Amino acid sequence: MPITKAFPRRHLAFAFAILIPFPALALQQNLWASIQPLAFVLFYPALVVSSWIGGRSGGTIALILSVVLADWFFMEPLQSLRIDDPDHVARIFAFALIGSLIIYAHHRFQLRTERYQNTTENIDDVVWVLDAETQRLRYVSPSIIRQLGFAPAEIMALPIERALTPTIAAQVRCLAVGGTAVGNIVTEEVRKTRKDGSTIWTEVVMTQARNQRTGKQEVHGVSRNITARKYAEEQLKTSEQRMRKMLDNIPTAIACCTLGNNAEFVFLNRQFVRIFGYSLEEIPDLGTWEQLSCPDEQSRRNLTLPWEMAVGTIHRESAEGMESRILCKDGSMRDVLINADRLEDMVLVSFTDITERKQAELRLRHMAQHDALTELPNRILFDEHVGVALATARREGSRFGLMFIDLDHFKKVNDTMGHRIGDLLLLEVSLRLRQAVRESDIPARLSGDEFVVLLQHVHHPSDALLVAEKIRARLGEPFSIENNMFSISASLGVAIYPDHGKDAISLARNADAAMYQAKQNGRNAITLSESEMAA
């Protein structure tokens, strides 16, 4: 069986350390056998060698052997372990003390060396030391083999441009000539070529230092493999670019901002810029966006509320579906539906343009509440206005009037001129009606040639009769439609709240009855309801 297998290497080193005092004894006897004061001279180097080979244990045993051998061969009486001379006792005691100090110091030195070697040789980072004067590497840790595939000796034999890359070499020269203060740290990320031709990314951290032992300037550096990190960064960048492209190509406006009172925008997609006209440079933060885009307080509140809800400053079940009106850069107004979600340290807000939908809703509402021919309010909208006027009059104790208008002999126009001319005549009547009433009054078309007017702010029945007379006179003027001249007249009936009715039904019934009374009185006349009929 091989010796190396029978005895571990550390046992061989320990055994060799114990044998070192014997060669020292042989040399001592040949060189200085008759010189008693120097009996321990060669045992001191033997202790150093034994401590270096066998550690503290080997050095301690070697020290004991050295004392025994020196006493046996050099102290009187010779070849005896008894010591009669006090000077010999003092010499042995001094030798043992100095030897113990040598063993202890060497042990501490070995501990520091082992820690340093364990640190530099077992980590993945490469530690290197460069002489600032010669611009050559003095030390490279063995981890260079794992990082680049080169042995430390191979790297140290190369010029620093090849060993550390030209970028790092330039930084090293700057450090070497004092371009930065001692203790300042310089960090660079460079791509290095491995021995097999592949490349890796390394982060190199360097600093200038002075060697405490030699006094020379050095550059100390650590090279760390950051290929995985760079790959992750590249993947993250690719993912971010892909996400940006996705966000840029969706039809919804997207804004991403930071949290806090001074929220800053970090991303606006292409649709946001297209719809609202503002770029990221023009609206860097939420406050600027609010001032530019919200013409009124309510719109501003609806704009910021989703942000507040998303970050939790306002507790609600959802931060979705907030509508707001946004003033665009070109001066146009956009109706948007705002949704907000919190994404860790940011808030993602989407703006769905609902301007066309809102306009369509307004058109539908207008169509449902207005006469298709004359664009005057129809019966549904007019009844709503009457209800509001009735509630206001009851609350304030004020008056208002209701006027019914019927065109005289309109059927004859339809029969003789056709329905198209009749419709054009109704359009003209609606225009004259708008011109004749007061600004606060509300005219409407109920059906056919029947019109009605809500007379607001009536303090006395004479106020209503003045408006009615103005309407009668205006409608009595000749009409010119497609080169056809003809005249018509109108019969008008007026009822006043609360004199002629305390609710909408009774007022309408009395105003209608007054209108028929005007027709019976010869048409082209105005009749004021005489009393509250069937109230």
Q: Which two tokens stand for residue 12?
A: 């061989």
Residue 477: Cβ within 10 Å count: 9
**Residues 119, 141: Cα–Cα separation, whole Å:** 10
- CB-count burial class (<10 Å; 0-12, 13-18, 19+) for 300: middle
Largest CA-CA distance found in the chain, in angstroms, rounded = 169
CB distance 139 to 155 below 8 Å:
no
Which residue in 15, 43, 19, 16 sits closest to 29, CA to CA?
43
- CB-count burial class (<10 Å; 0-12, 13-18, 19+) for 447: exposed
Question: Which one from 71, 353, 371, 449 is the annotated catalytic residue?
Answer: 449
**Is 330 among the catalytic positions?**
no
* Residue type, position 255, single letter: A
3-state secondary structure string, 210-248?
Answer: ECCCCCCEEEEEEEEECHHHHHHHHHHHHHHHHHHHHHH
3-state secondary structure string, 294-315?
Answer: CCCHHHHHHHHHHHHHHCCCCC
Which residue in 5, 118, 1, 13 sits closest to 61, CA to CA?
13
In the beta sheet, which residues pair with residue 404?
Answer: 452, 493
Q: Cis link prior to 498 (omega < 30° from 0)?
A: yes
In the beta sheet, which residues pair with residue 339?
Answer: 350
E strand intervals along 38-125? none
Q: 3-state class of 128 per DSSP?
A: strand
Which residue in 136, 132, 125 sits closest to 164, CA to CA?
136
CB distance 153 to 164 below 8 Å:
no
By DSSP bridging, strand 199-210 and strand 333-343 are unpaired
**Residues 230, 232: Cα–Cα separation, whole Å:** 5
**Residues 452, 407: Cα–Cα separation, whole Å:** 11
E strand intervals along 40-197? 126-131, 136-140, 185-193
Residue 392 neighbours by CB under 8 Å, 6+ apart: 398
Q: So which residues are the catalytic ones?
A: 449
